[in-house]
Structure 1
Amino acid sequence: MISKHTSDLVRERADIEEVVGEYVPLKKKGQNLWACCPFHGEKTPSFSISPAKQIYKCFGCGKAGDPIQFIMDIEGIGFQEAIRHLAIKYGIEIEEDEKLTPEQNLEQNERESLFIALNFAKDFFVKNLETEEGRSIGLSYFKERGFTPQIIQKFDLGYALDGWDNLLKAAKNNGFQEDILLKAGLILQKEGDPSRLYDRFRNRVTFTIHNVSGKPIAFGARILTKDKNQPKYINSPETPVYHKSDVLYGIFQAKKSIRDKDNCYLVEGYTDVVSMHLSGIENVVASSGTSLTEGQIKLIKRFTNHVTVLYDGDSAGIKASLRGIDLLLEGGLHVKAVVFPDGEDPDSYSRKVGSQAFQEYLEQNSKDFIGFKIGLYKDEIAKDPIRKAEVIREVVQSIGKIPDPIVRSVYTKEASGLLQIEEEILLGELNKTMLKHQRDHFQKSKEEKEAEAALEELIPVKDPTISLDEVLSIQEKETIRLLLNYGLEKIGDEDLYLSQYLLSETEELEFKTPIYQKILFEYRSRLAKGEIPSIDIFTRHQDPEIQKEAIDLITPRHEVSHHWHERHQIFIHVESDDLASTAYKSILRLKRRLIMKMMDEAKNKIKSGEEKGEEPEKILEYQLIYMELKKVQYEIDKELGIVIG
């Protein structure tokens, strides 16, 4: 594990502007720098970088952090790897911390050993292409497909020699232990005799699977002989460093192009990806023959919001795989699709027509998912009214997966025209579908409904679905926001810091929202040690939840230019102009929310007691508690100037 001293040096030297500037162009506006977010596709910059605070914050997707967190997010790596990455960038010597528990040492060493073993295997397979067997079988297969030496090198393509233990012998000769080779999925134990070990990949061409930062983590291997007893492809098993549901083949080679093009082509197999790179199209990844997963969709969404799914020319196969489109829509991605002619796939068609014609085909045949889905069934719905009704419901269900209401509305209108059905009918069906979906996934408990009813009675709000717990959480958030932003500011005429006031007023309170209680506890603990907790402690905190929440609370969405309003003699009142009043009212509101929650609990006890037939004295006790709480609320309402009915 990298030492704390090294981590501290990285935190001191890493500059947010330099780090982010290597990935996206930055423009200065006011005190901050702005860019289009590298984590989600957008046209208008909402990604803010504060050089003064050394933080970034996207107001579109919510990503936030310091230089270390940015590298973790953009490269898809862990904290230790991000520290190592930045240490190398800034020429900082990396010190390893010897003070690790045996378990930590074991886990760290095993993970590192797996990466080293997998990298050795990658090099071994690549070098095998230079052997006589590798040239005559593996290299000739790649050349037949038109794969150039540059492409072979770019994707670390290789060959596994024919034989039971070629890799095993080579790895052991280089000091690798058998248990690491087993855990990496490179070798197998013979069934019935665990002492007999042999290579997993034999007499096959190999495709190296990389993680987002480019490390080999697994392999896919294709057989070249026609052996009906052997599968065409075999793949690495799940390991501590390879979880196939979170990996896309080609993502390392594609991530920059996906960001630049703001679109990701999604194909099925390894050779589809490689062939498209040969055609000059690099923003392409493969699900590697598995059903699309939520983890893979999130991985795509880190680089773009736009996906174009490429389908082989097989109508039955396409209809069977439409579930993937619904998952993409549900993940908030904008989906298009391209279908190749019968019997063709991206690999075969690109080799058949050439790079230029292939690129033109993709551009000319790309359809949004509505036109694509309806087009698949056009012959069926023309002949059969019942089938048309079924297709309409299927299309409506797909539209219902889209989280953005504006996009839903646009697609509903388009579907209306293509299906020749009134838009109002589609909207009615869509509403029924979405209501059913909400009932299935967000069915509220009896207690939640009662809390909502109590909230409506006690504090009328625009959104009657918000619960008392949510209202209380909002007020807790406001208290922590003031604490982080103005904790070290003096208030009133006395020598009193705002943090002292807020902490004394909340001394006997325990916040119900875990993250705000966590920040409050940290603030108190540091003050108790005589340490003044500056904002940097929280925005650079090692707990990513605290770090993100702190950045959210100190980063305003918009800033007004001081030069502008001074030039025009326009003076704007802000909360910092009267912190004493702001803090006082915030504490009153927090206490009001707590009182209301306690009142709600008392009401529930009264109702429950009556239903259960409890003693009248017990119910009277609850009623008296409620009335006392109501009096306190009345006094707070008067102080806050709330109109009392």
Structure 2
Amino acid sequence: MSISKLTTDKVKERADIVEVVGDYVPLKKKGQNMWACCPFHGEKTPSFSISPAKQIYKCFGCGKAGDPIQFVMDIEGIGFAEAIRHLAKKYGIEIEEEEEQTPAQLQEQGERESLFIALNFAKDFFVKNLKTEEGKSIGLSYFKERGFTPSIIEKFDLGYALDGWDHLLKAAKESGFQEDILLKSGLILQKEGDPTRLYDRFRNRVTFTIHNVSGRPIGFGARILTKDKNQPKYINSPETPIYHKSDVLYGMFQAKKAIRDKDNCYLVEGYTDVISLHLSGIENVVASSGTSLTEGQIKLIKRFTNHVTVLYDGDNAGIKASLRGIDLLLEGGLLVKAVVFPDGEDPDSFSQKVGTQAFQDYLEANSRDFIGFKIGLYQDEIQRDPIRKAELIREVVQSIGKIPDPIIRSVYAKEASGLLSIEEEIIHSELNKALLKVQKDQFQRAKQEAEDEQKLEELLPIAPVELSMDEALLIQEKEMVRLLINYGWEKLDQDGLHLGQYLLDETEEIEFRTPIYRKIWSTYRTKLSHGEVPTYEYFLETGDAEIKQEIIGLITPRYEISNYWHDKHQIFINKESDDLTQTVYKSILRLKRRMVQKMMEDTKQKLKLAEQEKVGEEGVFELQQIYFELKKVQVEIDKELGIVIG
């Protein structure tokens, strides 16, 4: 009996690479990733990298790589099904068995993909509606009033649902979509009392596309623009097989890179709050979309950072009612800060009121850790009422007790002691006395600086190694594919030219010699020709074992530059992403140079054979001409690359 695909999908969604690997080896955070000594081969210096954001591992010593399921297979020496059972047990997932798949079961498996396709169609439909007369006068006009730029509208796939009962329904049916898929996706509804009457869920509203972490549309939020007491201001997609509200945060797809880079996540309430912060140059922001925080959403944040800053509207009563969310964040192992806006303001209104720079300065100046923030909310009450102060002390201690890290608990206990004027020993007795943070910090800081010194030495240039022409060409092809997979979706100019399209255009006449890179390159070209810009997630989900192994190696950096060089020593190190246009241009030239050198080498071999076989002066002369033309091309490329050869 085999395990059902539903069970496998649940395991893939729940399994966290850090938790799975952490069951076997101790992990240590360095930069954005976790590191350990590889459990698959003996080593003293950690070379086993775990990426919480990408949910993969990679050993730079032995080459082992994969996702949580692959790790269990490797470490336990078991097959795929046994690994699924192992992880299902760990996460409390009920295992569903199936002897063989019936046509109905196969249809159910295809339903998820059909829902993705239908929702993507709806997203495109809503976006195109902004170009209609109605869309321009109502939807686009609203976005412009809010200060949303064309690039922001495109970035978030903002759109407009036309005023009418079934515009989307008709368009979808004309494109071949079945009514049952449209119903299951939540895009259309059945009229009460008459199931045969179908109509659009979203009508006469601006639409906000909700993406999953990979960027695929999974639902919509829609805002009405007229004042109608009989209509809610916002309506949202219902729960579907691919949209579970408790596991989704609005804007995470657009924010995940910035959250990793900034090592902090701003948490707001609504769609427009997220977009307004992007307009203010702050991209590491997500929204709970007006719902209470859930364990799934907290785990999603933790995949990218351990730091959260909650942004609250200027309404004390509302803030006090939502403090439960901070306790959940603390319980999830996150380090929490908070910012409160002036009375009557929210992130959206305040950012528009004061402008980009003043808004960023305000966030910096008013960010407080959760202890100072929570006590400050009740400062007036506790000064007037000793009983209320006692209650607040208990509430604060309860919040600190939710923090899993004993060292952080100790620090907050000390801070609470000072702010509440209570003996620290009382708080420590309830928290079982943690180690002193100052000593721990000094130890960790000294150790980190030593590791950074070692890392910088490892980054210094080393003596070049002589490579064969084939080896050099393989390395350059690998570099091109690495740039394509890591940055293909980036835009190089205002016209929206993707880096991936530029790479493919510039290498159209080049045939990759390495089979695995030729296969990846060809797959990328095919997807791009269909209007899709594939990310590394696409290859990890759909590629074969060889491609997955290669992709993991391409997206996992061996080293990261510590923030200490910039923050403490003011040493600025350029990154390849600082000027992608130049980086890619030089890489294309280097690939072409290697190709030309390979052709020159092949031509020289043909010349030797021609001279040995005495094919005649005309044949030799032709090969000589080819060689010299290739040499001219190499010289031109060398000049462009700044390579001087005597």
- Distance, in Å, in 1 between the alignment partners of 2:328 and 2:33 is 29
Q: Does 1:397 align with 2:407?
A: no
Q: Per chain length, whose mean CA-contact separation is higher, i.e. which structure has more relative contact order (CA < 8 Å, sep 6+)?
A: 1
- Distance, in Å, in 2 between the alignment partners of 1:251 and 1:274 is 12
Task: Give 1:338 shift.
Answer: 0.5
Correspondence list, 1:235-246, <5 A? 235-246=236-247
Q: Which residue of 2 aligns with 1:49?
A: 59
Q: Which residue of 2 aligns with 1:142?
A: 143
Task: Give 1:230 shift.
Answer: 0.5
- Distance, in Å, in 2 between the alignment partners of 1:272 and 1:388 is 34
Q: Does 1:39 align with 2:40?
A: no
Correspondence list, 1:91-490, <5 A? 101-430=102-431
- Distance, in Å, in 2 between the alignment partners of 1:109 and 1:185 is 17
102 and 189 in structure 1: CA distance in 2 versus 1, 3 angstrom threshold: same
Q: Deviations over 1:236-291 (max 9, x none)?
A: 00001000000000010011111111111110000000111111111110000000
TM-score by length of 1: 0.55
Task: Give 1:28 shift.
Answer: 12
Q: Which residue of 2 aligns with 1:541?
A: none
- Distance, in Å, in 1 between the alignment partners of 2:191 and 2:382 is 55
Question: Are the counterparts in 1 of residues 267 and 288 from structure 2 also a CA contact under 8 Å?
Answer: yes
Q: 1:362 is aligned with what amino acid? A: L
Correspondence list, 1:520-599, <5 A? none
Secondary structure in 1 matching 2:309: strand
Q: Deviations over 1:210-244 (max 9, x none)?
A: 00000000000001001111100000000010000
Question: Are the counterparts in 2 of residues 266 and 309 from structure 1 also a CA contact under 8 Å?
Answer: yes
Q: 2:374 is aligned with what amino acid? A: K
Query: Which structure 2 segments of 5+ residues have no match?
Result: 1-31, 75-83, 85-99, 434-646
- Distance, in Å, in 1 between the alignment partners of 2:288 and 2:375 is 24
223 and 414 in structure 1: CA distance in 2 versus 1, 3 angstrom threshold: same
Question: Are the counterparts in 2 of residues 266 and 308 from structure 1 also a CA contact under 8 Å?
Answer: yes
Question: Are the counterparts in 2 of residues 32 and 50 from structure 1 also a CA contact under 8 Å?
Answer: no
Q: 1:54 is aligned with what amino acid? A: K
Task: Give 1:39 shift.
Answer: 1.4
- Distance, in Å, in 2 between the alignment partners of 1:26 and 1:419 is 39
221 and 40 in structure 1: CA distance in 2 versus 1, 3 angstrom threshold: closer
Q: 1:38 is aligned with what amino acid? A: S
- Distance, in Å, in 1 between the alignment partners of 2:72 and 2:289 is 33
Q: Which residue of 2 aligns with 1:519?
A: none
Secondary structure in 1 matching 2:342: strand
- Distance, in Å, in 2 between the alignment partners of 1:33 and 1:413 is 35
Secondary structure in 2 matching 1:231: coil
- Distance, in Å, in 2 between the alignment partners of 1:287 and 1:159 is 22
Task: Give 1:109 shift.
Answer: 1.8
- Distance, in Å, in 2 between the alignment partners of 1:401 and 1:28 is 30
Secondary structure in 1 matching 2:239: coil
Q: Deviations over 1:359-379 (max 9, x none)?
A: 111111111100000010111
Secondary structure in 1 matching 2:231: coil
Task: Give 1:315 shift.
Answer: 0.2
Q: Which residue of 2 aligns with 1:617?
A: none
Q: 1:49 is aligned with what amino acid? A: C
Q: Deviations over 1:407-429 (max 9, x none)?
A: 11110000000111110122234
- Distance, in Å, in 2 between the alignment partners of 1:304 and 1:68 is 27
Query: Which structure 1 segments of 5+ residues have no match?
Result: 1-22, 58-62, 70-78, 80-98, 433-645
Bigger Cα displacement from structure 2, 101-110 vs 283-292:
101-110
Q: 2:326 is aligned with what amino acid? A: I
Q: Which residue of 2 aligns with 1:624?
A: none
Secondary structure in 2 matching 1:164: coil
Q: Deviations over 1:59-94 (max 9, x none)?
A: xxxx6846999xxxxxxxxx9xxxxxxxxxxxxxxx
Task: Give 1:51 shift.
Answer: 4.7
- Distance, in Å, in 2 between the alignment partners of 1:146 and 1:54 is 49
Task: Give 1:47 shift.
Answer: 7.4
Secondary structure in 1 matching 2:52: coil
- Distance, in Å, in 1 between the alignment partners of 2:309 and 2:53 is 16
- Distance, in Å, in 2 between the alignment partners of 1:402 and 1:47 is 27
Question: Are the counterparts in 2 of residues 31 and 50 from structure 1 also a CA contact under 8 Å?
Answer: no
40 and 106 in structure 1: CA distance in 2 versus 1, 3 angstrom threshold: closer
Task: Give 1:110 shift.
Answer: 1.1
Fraction of identical pairs, as percent: 79
Question: Are the counterparts in 1 of residues 48 and 61 from structure 2 also a CA contact under 8 Å?
Answer: no
Task: Give 1:384 shift.
Answer: 1.1
- The root-mean-square deviation of aligned C-alpha atoms, in Å, is 3.2
38 and 355 in structure 1: CA distance in 2 versus 1, 3 angstrom threshold: farther
- Distance, in Å, in 1 between the alignment partners of 2:101 and 2:421 is 68
Secondary structure in 2 matching 1:209: strand
Question: Are the counterparts in 1 of residues 129 and 162 from structure 2 also a CA contact under 8 Å?
Answer: yes
Question: Are the counterparts in 2 of residues 24 and 35 from structure 1 also a CA contact under 8 Å?
Answer: no
Question: Are the counterparts in 2 of residues 208 and 216 from structure 1 also a CA contact under 8 Å?
Answer: yes
Q: 1:406 is aligned with what amino acid? A: I
Secondary structure in 2 matching 1:396: helix
Task: Give 1:103 shift.
Answer: 3.5
Q: Deviations over 1:409-456 (max 9, x none)?
A: 110000000111110122234459xxxxxxxxxxxxxxxxxxxxxxxx
Question: Are the counterparts in 1 of residues 267 and 286 from structure 2 also a CA contact under 8 Å?
Answer: yes
Task: Give 1:55 shift.
Answer: 3.0
Bigger radius of gyration: 1
TM-score by length of 2: 0.55
Q: 1:408 is aligned with what amino acid? A: R
Question: Are the counterparts in 2 of residues 40 and 305 from structure 1 also a CA contact under 8 Å?
Answer: no
- Distance, in Å, in 2 between the alignment partners of 1:373 and 1:404 is 20
- Distance, in Å, in 2 between the alignment partners of 1:249 and 1:67 is 32
- Distance, in Å, in 1 between the alignment partners of 2:49 and 2:374 is 32
- Distance, in Å, in 2 between the alignment partners of 1:152 and 1:102 is 42
Q: 1:331 is aligned with what amino acid? A: G
Question: Are the counterparts in 2 of residues 38 and 259 from structure 1 also a CA contact under 8 Å?
Answer: no
115 and 56 in structure 1: CA distance in 2 versus 1, 3 angstrom threshold: closer
Task: Give 1:32 shift.
Answer: 7.4
40 and 218 in structure 1: CA distance in 2 versus 1, 3 angstrom threshold: closer
Correspondence list, 1:601-612, <5 A? none
- Distance, in Å, in 2 between the alignment partners of 1:137 and 1:68 is 55
- Distance, in Å, in 1 between the alignment partners of 2:422 and 2:353 is 41
Question: Are the counterparts in 2 of residues 416 and 423 from structure 1 also a CA contact under 8 Å?
Answer: yes
Question: Are the counterparts in 2 of residues 279 and 350 from structure 1 also a CA contact under 8 Å?
Answer: yes
Q: Deviating runs (4+, > 6 A) in structure 1?
A: 23-33
Secondary structure in 2 matching 1:195: strand
Secondary structure in 1 matching 2:207: strand
